[in-house]
Structures are given as C-alpha cells and as structure tokens.
Amino acid sequence: MCVLVTGATGRYGYAAALVLADAGVDVAALVRDLETPAARSLVERGVRLERGRRDQLDHVEDALADADGLFLAVGGPRASARTASERAETLVRAAHRTDVTVVHASLIGADARPGVPCVDVRGRIDADLASRDVPHVSLRPGVPLDAFERARDTVETESRLPFPLEGHARVPLTDPRDVARAATAILADPDTPTPDGERLPVFSDTRSLYGLADALEDVLGREITADPRPPTDAPRPLTAFYRWVNEGALLGADPNALVERYGVGPAPIRDYFERAGWE
C-alpha cells in the first residue's frame, strides 16, 4: 500500500503523512522544497519526499504512478484563490487519470459555496471528484484546534483566551490528528468499505469560546478567561472565514457519521492540548 500526500507540510497533510507512516503505510509526500523543517521532519519519521508542485499535472501524475491512494489537501486560507483553484483542478485531474482512491481534507459546510475562497475551493473539489466518479471520501473538519496556538502565549502568560469567536457563537472543533486517523482507516485498512463519495464530519465537540476555556481549565488546572474577539481580529486572510463561522455556518453536522461508516471516533478535546504540551 502506497499513499501520496499533498499539502504534507501543512496542517492536515502533515498529520496524515505521520499517522499513515506510523501505521506501516509507504507514504510519499509531494513537496516543493525538500529542505524546510517540516519536510525534514517527515523524512525523519519515515516519509519519502517527492519534489514537485500541486499545480503541475505532470508532477502529480509522476508522484502518483505507484500510489494506491491520495490524501488531497490544497492548503490553508492564506493561499490565494487562484493558487488554490489551480492546485485543486490539477489534483482532481491527476486522481481521475491515475485511478486512485482519494481522501479529501474538506470542510464542514463546503457545499454551501458562501463566497469565502478557502471554503468554496473545497466545495468545488468535492463536486469535481463526484462528477468524475473518482472513488473518494470528503472528510469535513470544523475549526481546527491548532488554530488556537496563536493565542497560546496569552493563555500561558495572562490566563486569557482571545479568539475571533463572538459572544456565545458555537463551533465544531477538530483535532487535525483525527482527520489523519480517519484517512488512515479509509486508505490503509483492507477491510474498509469502498469509498462512495461520503461527506463525513470530523470533530470532537461543539463549543463556544467560553466552553473551550472551560476545557482548557480542566487541562491546565487554573482559571482561563474567554476573550471573544470580532472576526476582524483574525489574520486578514481568515477574516471572511471567521465571519462566516460566527454566523453558525458549521453547525448541524452529524458527529456520529464517521464512526458509523468507518469506525473512527474523534478523541476528546483535551487530548490535543495535552499532546501539544499546553501548560
């Protein structure tokens, strides 16, 4: 079993490459720069690197030549809409032409196409995979827990959790490693059901910022004060995304769909913060 991972130096691709490799899968990661710290870390963990670009069809097809599966990630919201779209089109075309099974790191609510580039591109990928009859599963995380890393220093020094979630807005929260665990179950388990274009939410719990502060209190053993901020407090490429999130766009997903289909249950929220060494 060989799986090609794209976006392997980013959030979901990096986690998927490591979890797949730990499961004994032959993992190849398509990367532009072989010398970044993340790329070198992958090599140290047993991942092979394939140098290439996600927006170049020949690069992707060459990397997929001996692969049975593809973990498809186009990158985060900081990528331009044009760049993400070019990557998406190329990756789906290559998957179709090489007849591999695809696990796509999408997003809860991606089908809505709300005019938020990082959301819309994932919705287009899911639709394109379906229209081309590519065997695939769309894994759909919510707000990733590692997004709170940018508030870590404030939490540790001031016991205050600032984040662009207003009032009591609630969101589903996802540990990126759970997306990787799900991808491994789908791509590496010979007894897994054949992928059939499922859209499967992946999240541990749905909480407001106040609820997350309570979870952090349990982990850290001290009081943590939630500090709701407006979407404009997010980094500029993320402002539109968090405005959409604050409107409740991610709510209503079925938390049991993934475990019912593939037997993978997300870990508790506290597992992420303990594993990441919050203190």
User: Would you state the pLDDT for residue 159?
Assistant: 97
- The amino acid sitting at 235 is P
Residue 66, SS3? coil
Q: What is the CATH number of the domain that holds 141?
A: 3.40.50.720
Number of H helices, E strands in the chain: 11, 12
- Mean pLDDT score, 166-175: 95
Residue 230 CA to residue 222 CA, distance in Å, equals: 26
Q: What is the pLDDT of residues 190-214, one digit of tens each?
A: 788 888 999 999 999 999 999 999 9
User: Would you state the pLDDT for residue 128?
Assistant: 96
Cβ–Cβ < 8 Å for 10, 36: no
Residue showing tokens 């790191």:
105
Residue among 59, 46, 72, 90 at smallest CA distance from 187: 72
Domain count, the chain: 1
Strand order in the sheet with 205-207: 143-144, 171-174, 205-207
Residue 167: is its pLDDT beyond 90? no
Residue 81: is its pLDDT beyond 80? no
Residue among 164, 174, 161, 176 at smallest CA distance from 210: 161
How confident is residue 249, by pLDDT bands cut at 50, 70 and 90? very high
Q: Which residues have C-beta within 8 Å of that of residue 27, sequence separation ≥ 6?
A: 2, 3, 5, 17, 20, 21, 46, 47, 48
Question: Radius of gyration (Cα) for the chain, nearest Å?
Answer: 18
User: Would you state the pLDDT for residue 80?
Assistant: 66
- Full domain range(s) for residue 104: 2-275
Q: What is the pLDDT of residues 14-30, one digit of tens each?
A: 999 999 999 999 999 99
Q: What is the pLDDT of residues 112-161, one digit of tens each?
A: 999 999 999 999 999 999 999 999 999 999 999 999 999 999 999 999 99
What is this structure's pTM? 0.95
Helix (H) or strand (E) holding 93: helix 81-98
